[in-house]
């Protein structure tokens, strides 16, 4: 880092000048979205005062941030050498409008919901302090940070730390994370750190800059073209069923880029239909190519159900085309009251799951509610989108949310041969080795709950065995583990009667599984979520050795808010109270994943220390705020909350800890493993 940095002082702007700068940024955003030239009078208004000696002429860069209902919509900027305020703001606004590829392009329908913030950068200076002294050199609310280490850089504006509630240390951690560096890199002597100040201008997007009609989205597809697509789609489906070559281009509908296409088949007597769809909210889809792919999938499905010729001839084919995606915040906080449902559809998205609805006779909030109901457990944090739509159907909806699967009575091993040997004799030897390496317990503990890791037996089996070997195993065990795959429903209890392992099996408590699914809101019996999930299977390999007659209930948990964990725990506790004997609750969890051995141990210690407070909310907060990838944190929080609800004191004792490096793994990319007993005597 150079000893001296050429920088600009904090700009001093009057209220009138701030208003002119904000209006300029709004104008540049609108012009970029509509691909028109910027209003020269608005440019001149800023040019005039930038050269008048007020100190506003030069800055070190600028960022323009757009938010919708308090959620980030787009943010880009420019930073570096001293530059004119006009140049910095114009460049930042253009980039924000067109180059933030984390989000879909900004729709003109969003202008009324947007806030636009401008941050003018100044007073860059290196942090000459070293190590821990750098914490005191950073003032949250005043300073922004830039970090440079080799080819990796990261920058966070002053407002980021304020909005996130970070202290100085966490701000330093997070700027490292932004650069893709270990979070303690700021302490290293060869890491370059700059602090700077940001002068922020905040206000609603200035819609006075809009030209007539610029608050409406243009979608040049006509209704007659959609009707032609339906005829073309049906003809292609019929051709493929009959073995003919389908047409690639529909002559009555020009090709274009869209954001989603749906083909729905309605056979005679069917009121719901079967849908085939493809969505690409950010980059877009080629209409004709995507439609061809969907008709191919539809033809394969019709052949699989052996639809007869009469049904095919009477089959109705609907097409829905989506364009101009707009973002409206999250469910429960979205503000789209001015949206017309006559030509726009609502979509609710949470992770990989989406549900959408189009009906011009229904209000926006009703469409949001209907779509959110299909998402399920995490709908309250799901994002709300709207799309310009051309549809042959006046009332149509769909989702890709999985339907629970009954599965087979016996659940075969999914990770035998990878996480442990598939050969029965070799499997038994590895399990015996895990127990042979354990410390012989002085007494058997009557525990209410434990936490054990679920990696391959050679990596974490000894720690898990050491915990299980110390406790009394009752007749029934409930294992709560993370859901590592996208398969199945979010919160799934296994419906199987038996879990098969090499040379042995473990019985399941099906009546208890059914009772849990009936009494815990959002929990469903689903085999699909457990088909390839290893978080229970690994625990069973060890349980089968010391408690072969145990009955098991397996729950795989996707994401959840803390409030949802509390609700789940209260309902789980109510079920347990009605049982003649309390089950053992097993948390299946590894600790942090894929940091260096030193960093992994630091983060794992934070999580374990939080757990040892006995406060599940503290554990949830520490793990989430520090981006600790403890995969079973949701099960851990639920189990701790369940014990609280049952008024069982949490006497938490750590039994063992290791990382994959201790088993001979790479020290640069490790996983942590911990064994913990909760509420033991």
Ranges of residues in the chain whose predicted pLDDT is under 70: 1-8, 50-57, 334-337, 680-681
* Residue 260: predicted pLDDT: 96
Contact call for residues 43 and 91 (beta carbons, < 8 A):
no
Q: How far is CA 66 from the centre of its chain?
A: 21
As a whole number of angstroms, the distance between CA 658 and CA 647 comes to: 32
Q: Which phi-psi region, left, alpha or beta, contains residue 633 (left: φ > 0; alpha: ψ -120 to 50)?
A: alpha
* DSSP state, residue 370: H
* Residue 3: predicted pLDDT: 47
In 3D space, the residue among 561, 559, 531 whose CA is nearest the CA of residue 351 turns out to be 559
Cα 390 to Cα 277, 282, 296, 410: the distances in Å are 15, 19, 22, 47
As a whole number of angstroms, the distance between CA 257 and CA 260 comes to: 9
* Residue 680: predicted pLDDT: 62
Contact call for residues 236 and 398 (beta carbons, < 8 A):
no
Exposure string of 1-35, with b = 16+ CB inside 10 Å and e = fewer, is: eeeeeebbebbebeeebbebbbbbbbbbbbbbbee
To which residue do tokens 């038996």 refer?
498
In 3D space, the residue among 453, 447, 481, 500 whose CA is nearest the CA of residue 643 turns out to be 447
As a whole number of angstroms, the distance between CA 175 and CA 127 comes to: 14
Cα 34 to Cα 30, 31, 162, 285, 336: the distances in Å are 6, 5, 33, 21, 22
CA diameter of the chain? 86
- 389: which residues sit within 8 A by CB, 6+ positions away? 320, 321, 322, 323, 343, 344, 345, 358
Q: How far is CA 244 from the centre of its chain?
A: 43
* Residue 109: predicted pLDDT: 92
* Residue 45: predicted pLDDT: 87
* DSSP state, residue 106: P
3-state secondary structure of 641: helix
- 576: which residues sit within 8 A by CB, 6+ positions away? 582, 583, 642, 646
Cα 462 to Cα 407, 418, 603, 635, 655: the distances in Å are 32, 17, 22, 21, 11
* Residue 679: predicted pLDDT: 78
Angle at which helix 633-645 crosses helix 562-577, to 10 degrees, equals 50
- Each residue's pLDDT tens digit, 14-62: 899 999 999 999 999 999 999 999 999 999 888 877 655 544 568 899 9
- Each residue's pLDDT tens digit, 624-649: 988 899 999 999 999 999 999 999 99
Helix or strand (DSSP H, E) at 43: helix 40-50
* Residue 41: predicted pLDDT: 93
How many CA atoms lie within 13 Å of 540's alpha carbon, on the beta-carbon side?
A: 33
Q: How far is CA 404 from the centre of its chain?
A: 22
* Residue 2: predicted pLDDT: 44
* Residue 8: predicted pLDDT: 67
Q: Which residues pair with 321 in a beta bridge?
A: 261, 390
Angle at which helix 562-577 crosses helix 616-625, to 10 degrees, equals 150
Contact call for residues 289 and 295 (beta carbons, < 8 A):
no
In 3D space, the residue among 133, 126, 170, 175 whose CA is nearest the CA of residue 152 turns out to be 175
Model pTM score: 0.83
């Amino acid at each position: 880092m150079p000893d001296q940095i050429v920088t600009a002082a904090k700009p001093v702007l009057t209220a009138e000048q701030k208003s002119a700068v904000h209006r300029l940024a709004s104008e540049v955003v609108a012009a970029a979205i509509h691909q028109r030239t910027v209003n020269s009078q608005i440019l001149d208004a800023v040019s005039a005062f930038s050269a008048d000696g007020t100190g506003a002429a030069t800055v070190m860069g600028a960022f323009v941030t757009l938010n919708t209902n308090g959620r980030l919509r787009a943010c880009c900027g420019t930073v570096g050498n001293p530059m004119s305020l006009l140049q910095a703001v114009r460049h930042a606004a253009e980039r924000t409008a067109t180059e933030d590829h984390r989000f879909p392009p900004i729709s003109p329908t969003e202008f009324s919901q947007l806030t636009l913030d401008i941050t003018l950068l100044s007073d860059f200076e290196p942090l000459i302090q070293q190590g821990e002294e750098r914490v005191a050199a950073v003032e949250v609310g005043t300073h922004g940070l830039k970090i440079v280490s080799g080819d990796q850089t990261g920058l966070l504006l002053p407002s980021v730390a304020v909005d996130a509630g970070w202290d100085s240390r966490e701000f330093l951690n997070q700027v490292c994370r932004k650069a893709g560096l270990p979070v303690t890199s700021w302490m290293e002597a060869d890491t370059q750190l700059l602090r700077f100040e940001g002068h922020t201008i905040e206000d609603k997007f200035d819609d006075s800059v809009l030209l007539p009609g610029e608050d409406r989205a243009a979608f040049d597809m006509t209704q007659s073209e959609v009707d032609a697509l339906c005829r073309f789609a049906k003809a292609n489906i019929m051709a493929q069923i009959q073995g003919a070559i389908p047409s690639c281009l529909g002559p009555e509908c020009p090709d274009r880029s869209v954001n989603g296409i749906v083909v729905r088949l309605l056979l005679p007597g069917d009121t719901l239909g079967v849908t085939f769809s493809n969505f690409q909210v950010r980059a877009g889809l080629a209409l004709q190519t995507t439609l061809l792919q969907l008709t191919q999938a539809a033809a394969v499905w019709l052949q699989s159900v052996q639809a007869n010729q009469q049904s095919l001839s009477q089959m109705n084919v609907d097409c829905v085309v989506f364009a101009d995606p707009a973002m409206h915040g999250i469910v429960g906080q979205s503000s789209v009251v001015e949206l017309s449902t006559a030509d726009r559809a609502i979509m609710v998205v949470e992770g990989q799951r989406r549900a959408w609805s189009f009906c011009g006779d229904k209000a926006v909030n009703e469409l949001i509610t209907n779509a959110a109901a299909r998402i399920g457990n995490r709908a309250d944090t799901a994002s709300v989108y709207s799309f310009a739509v051309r549809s042959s159907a006046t009332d149509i909806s769909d989702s890709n949310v999985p339907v629970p699967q009954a599965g087979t009575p016996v659940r075969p091993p999914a990770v035998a041969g990878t996480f442990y040997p598939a050969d029965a004799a070799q499997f038994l030897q590895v399990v015996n080795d895990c127990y042979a390496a354990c410390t012989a317990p002085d007494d058997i503990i009557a525990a209410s709950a434990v936490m054990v890791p679920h990696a391959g037996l050679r990596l974490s089996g000894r720690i898990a065995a050491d915990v299980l070997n110390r406790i009394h195993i009752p007749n029934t065990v409930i294992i709560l583990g993370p859901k590592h795959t996208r398969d199945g429903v979010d919160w799934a209890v296994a419906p199987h009667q038996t879990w098969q392992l090499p040379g042995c099996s473990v019985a399941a408590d099906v009546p208890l599984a059914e009772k849990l699914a009936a009494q815990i809101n959002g929990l469903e019996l689903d085999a699909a979520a457990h088909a390839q999930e290893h978080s229970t299977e690994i625990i069973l390999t060890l349980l089968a050795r010391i408690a072969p007659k145990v009955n098991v209930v397996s729950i795989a948990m996707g994401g959840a808010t803390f409030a949802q964990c509390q609700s789940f725990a209260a309902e789980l506790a109510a079920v347990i109270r009605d049982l003649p004997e309390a089950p053992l609750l097993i948390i299946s969890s590894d600790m942090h994943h894929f940091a260096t051995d030193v960093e992994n141990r630091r983060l794992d210690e934070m999580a374990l220390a939080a757990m040892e407070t006995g406060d599940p909310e503290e554990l949830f907060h520490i793990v989430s705020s520090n981006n600790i990838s403890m995969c079973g944190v949701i099960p851990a929080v639920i189990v701790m909350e369940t014990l609280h609800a049952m008024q069982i004191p949490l006497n938490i004792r750590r039994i063992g800890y290791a990382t994959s490096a201790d088993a001979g793994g790479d020290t640069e990319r490790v996983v942590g493993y911990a064994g913990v007993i909760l509420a033991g005597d």
